[in-house]
């Protein structure tokens, strides 16, 4: 699970890509220019998560948890590696 969290942080910090589509940061999507442009281009509703029916919300969140468990995060590209020097 910590690999999935690290993967999330890398995607969150990559200013060249939209913010991850995650309920807790939805209200900030319009403050990020890359994300705002992406949302306009894809017609993503501004309140996608907040206006969702609770049953649908729970199913989608459960699906995200399932997806995290099956992602091969170990073999994914470490986006921070070229910018950060890790302590040994």
**pLDDT of the residue at 1:** 63
Q: Which pair of tokens denotes residue 6?
A: 């690290």
Is residue 5 scored above 80 in pLDDT? no
- Please give, one letter per residue, the 3-state secondary structure of 43-77: CCCCCCCCCCCHHHHHHHHHHHHHHHHHCCCCCCC
**Mean pLDDT of the residues in the chain:** 87
Exposed/middle/buried for 20, CB within 10 Å: 0-12, 13-18, 19+? middle
> Is the pLDDT score of 11 beyond 80?
no
Q: pLDDT tens digits for 22-58?
A: 899 999 999 999 999 999 999 999 999 999 999 999 9
Would the pTM count as exceeding 0.75?
no
Cα angle 15-48-52, degrees, rounded to a multiple of 5: 145
Q: Which of 8-12, 66-70, 73-77 shows the lowest per-residue confidence on average (mean pLDDT)? A: 73-77
């Amino acid at each position: 699970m910590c690999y999935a969290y690290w993967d999330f942080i890398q995607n969150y910090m990559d200013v060249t890509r939209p913010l991850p589509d995650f309920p807790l940061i939805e209200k900030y999507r319009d403050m990020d220019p890359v994300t705002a442009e992406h949302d306009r281009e894809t017609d993503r509703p501004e309140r996608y998560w907040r206006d969702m029916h609770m049953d649908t919300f729970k199913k989608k969140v459960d699906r995200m948890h399932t997806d995290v468990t099956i992602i091969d995060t170990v073999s994914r590209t470490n986006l921070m590696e070229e910018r950060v020097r890790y302590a040994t």
